[in-house]
Amino acid sequence: MMEALAEMFTYDFMQRALLGVLLIMPLFSLLGTLVVNNGLSFFSDALGHSALTGAAIGLLFGLADPQPVMLLFAIGLALLMNVIRHSRLSTADTVIGVFASCGVALGLILLSGKGFAGYQRLLIGDILSITDTQLWVLFGALCVVIVVWLLCFNGMFATALSPSLARSKGLPTVWLDHLFVVVLAVVVMLSVQWVGLLLVNALLVIPAAAARNVAKGMRSYLILTLIFGLFSGLLGLMVSYLNAVATGPTIVLIGTAIFFGTYGIARRDRT
């Protein structure tokens, strides 16, 4: 096994996949903490499903790379969902469910008869095909997210915890909320082709949910989320290589095992 693992990283595509995991999982870990705290699990899921429609619109415009259209579509959709879910005309989960269903249905209709098979990799992703240019894009996204976190995390967390209290402290809660969903939309669109729209939400939610089971405070919550995310990502990459199975689903299963392990620990400590 050790020889196989040593051989694994002699391949260029595996080296790029390793760097991809080291960039994607911290991105998901940072965002996942607020996704879980804000109860936005279905929100990020709807954004992931909208990738199909964004890709279809890019195809209609004849673009070789649909990602710019996917980004713009996801940002617009995120802001629209955010406005409607705060209007209180309907429950948040209902609004998000409608948008998620619409995003998938519209994408399937636009792609029907236009070569849907070419976009099937959006469903489960393929991190082994990541390129050097795309790694630099992910690195840039990670730098931006870190800056936003350093400047705005306290305000975003306060807004999620108690919007009325945050407003009383003079925080621009509406703008902070919009900023978060825009950053979330960009990261989801940049990552979806490597982890898949069926799995992107799981990778956002599971490490943070596992950390929340055992975290004693906000600092440990952030640190544990990052540790769980990186551990599941790296182990998933190695296990998938050794067993010749898909990387994304393997990472999700390992993350799920960590979640149930921490759930068991939390349940034991509370009894």
Q: Find the CATH number of the domain harbouring 246.
A: 1.10.3470.10
5 assigned to some structural domain: no
233 assigned to some structural domain: yes
Averaged pLDDT for residues 182-200: 82
Among 165, 161, 188, 173, CA closest to 39? 161
The mean predicted confidence, pLDDT, of the chain is 82
Q: Mind giving me the DSSP string for 243-262?
A: HT--HHHHHHHHHHHHHHHH
pLDDT digits (tens, 9 = 90+) for 233-270: 889 888 888 888 888 888 889 999 999 999 888 877 77
Identify the pLDDT of residue 119. Answer: 61
CA distance linking residue 134 with residue 128, whole number of Å: 12
CA distance linking residue 122 with residue 47, whole number of Å: 13
Q: What is the pTM of this model?
A: 0.83
66 assigned to some structural domain: yes
pLDDT at 156 over 70: yes
Please check whether residue 183 is in contact with residue 151, taking contact to mean a CB–CB distance below 8 angstroms: no
Averaged pLDDT for residues 177-194: 85
Among 174, 179, 187, 185, CA closest to 153? 179
1 assigned to some structural domain: no
Number of separate domains in the chain: 1
Identify which has the larger pLDDT, 96 or 181: 181
Residue 119's domain comprises 13-264
pLDDT at 120 over 60: yes
Percent of the chain at pLDDT above 70? 91
4 assigned to some structural domain: no
72 assigned to some structural domain: yes
Averaged pLDDT for residues 84-91: 71
CA-to-CA dists, residue 100 to 50, 89, 202, angstroms: 7, 18, 15
56 assigned to some structural domain: yes
pLDDT class for 90, splitting at 50, 70, 90? low
pLDDT at 106 over 60: yes
SS3 205: helix
Q: How far apart are the first and last CA of the chain?
A: 40
Identify the pLDDT of residue 84. Answer: 80
Identify the pLDDT of residue 143. Answer: 92
3 assigned to some structural domain: no
Please check whether residue 125 is in contact with residue 248, taking contact to mean a CB–CB distance below 8 angstroms: yes
Among 67, 192, 138, CA closest to 146? 138
